[in-house]
Amino acid sequence: MTIVAGVDSSTQSCKLVVCDADTGTVVRQRQIPHPDGTEVPPATWWEALRAASEQMMREVAAISVAGQQHGLVVLDAAGYPVRDALLWNDTRSAEAAAQLVGELGGPQAWADAVGSVPLAAHTVAKLRWFADHEPELADRTSKVLLPHDYLTWLLRGGDADTEPTTDRGDASGTGYWSPAAGRYRRDLLSLAFRGRTPELPRVLAPAEIAGHTPGGRVVAAGTGDNAAAALGLGIEEGDVVVSLGSSGTVFSRSPRPSADASGAVNGFADATGAFLPLVCTLNAARVLDSTATLLGTDISGLEVLAAQSPPGADGLTLLPYLAGERTPNLPHAAGSLHGLRPHTMRPHHLARAAIEGMLCNIADALDRLPTVPRRILLIGGAARSRLIAHTAAAIFHATVTVPEPGEYVARGAARQAAWALRGGAGPPAWPSPPATEFPPPARRFGDAIRQRYAEVRDMYYPPA
């Protein structure tokens, strides 16, 4: 049996799974937490990966890293970080993003150039913030990497002779690589970084080998976390994935690149040679975690409370913009609770409103995706709740398919490692995970919930 490993280096933790290269069966797995925050020392990701790998890598022939997208890792000429990494959820670069949109000639110009319009999350906006607020450190920057690029580079030795690499899936989230043209837009890099032109990673093909570890293991190209999740789930055209992590993502596989001038849809590439139009929200499971903490319970307790409230929470509506929001683009927004009356000021109504508010925000994102869903797959920690799955089916008014719990980002990375090891025209044909279907209810109460949510949203944040 040939063994491969996949890594999910996310905001919260490093997850490592070891799989049978032929079947995808998980042989063993481990998880190590990452520090909290929107900027962290990138060395902590490497320490977590090393800790996760202890006694896990025996007989492993190949490894691949999937990482959180957009994070800015800047290295000096000797390969040391110039500053802590700025993560995707750091919103200080919102003004920088707006500046860049205007400097290139507007949203359509950016959408045509790189498939996405810069927001605070994108690497290109973080580079502009960095150049303007820390110019001395920017002057010392020799290389600009993404989180998965940094870990892949370190796996291969991480010295001056090791060329940094990336893949098209992760590169497409920077704001200076074009998925349609398949190349860097170094003019946009220079624009963002005030004339500086640091070294960028070489962009590898989906099954291309990045190199080898000092011990001789194959290191695959790696990719971004959403592209890896798509690979781990084995999605096909017409499948739409709704991922409920701390943030929320809605994405699908497409044979064609997208260029949405509204900025809502990110025109990413995927990890197979196709494309991955994606809409992202900053707030998903974090809304549930925060509400559970407020109510003095945990996620299981929150679900028990919510089940005691009727659909619609008797009119209590939560706008879930707790960390600002990316879609809609409201980086400085805050959450709002509307409909407080004596009879709605109860823990069970708040618990229900939190779930419904989160899912209405996701439904707004789903509406923006340029794909008619053939199937909606619900993944992420919050998808394990049957109440959330039933509520999602009602609010989306569609059958929701929930794969059995699994580390699909890490599994996708492992599948890519097997592909790089074995070669071939496509990734290995691992079986799809077992899943449970949740059809929409006969009574369309989800429509009323969405309508009430839209009224409150538009009252606080009127459409332009």
What residues are designated binding site for substrate? 69-70
Question: Coil, helix or strand for 39?
Answer: strand
Catalytic residue among 225, 239, 289, 364: 225
Distance of alpha carbon 68 from its chain centroid, rounded? 6
Q: Are 333 and 457 in contact (CB under 8 A)?
A: no
Contacts 24+ apart (CB under 8 A), 383-391: 383/244, 385/299, 385/303, 386/438, 387/303, 387/306, 387/307, 387/355, 388/244, 388/303, 388/355, 388/359, 389/436, 389/438, 390/438, 390/441, 391/311, 391/355, 391/356, 391/359, 391/446
Decide if 225 is catalytic: yes
Question: In sequence order, which residues have a C-beta less than 8 Å from that of residue 111 and are 6 or more positions away?
Answer: 117, 259, 260, 261, 263, 267
Q: Is 107 helix (H, G, I), strand (E, B) or coil?
A: helix
Determine how many CB atoms are found less than 10 A away from the CB of residue 183.
Answer: 11
AA identity, residue 449: I
What's the CA gap between 173 and 167, in Å, rounded?
11
- Active-site positions read 225
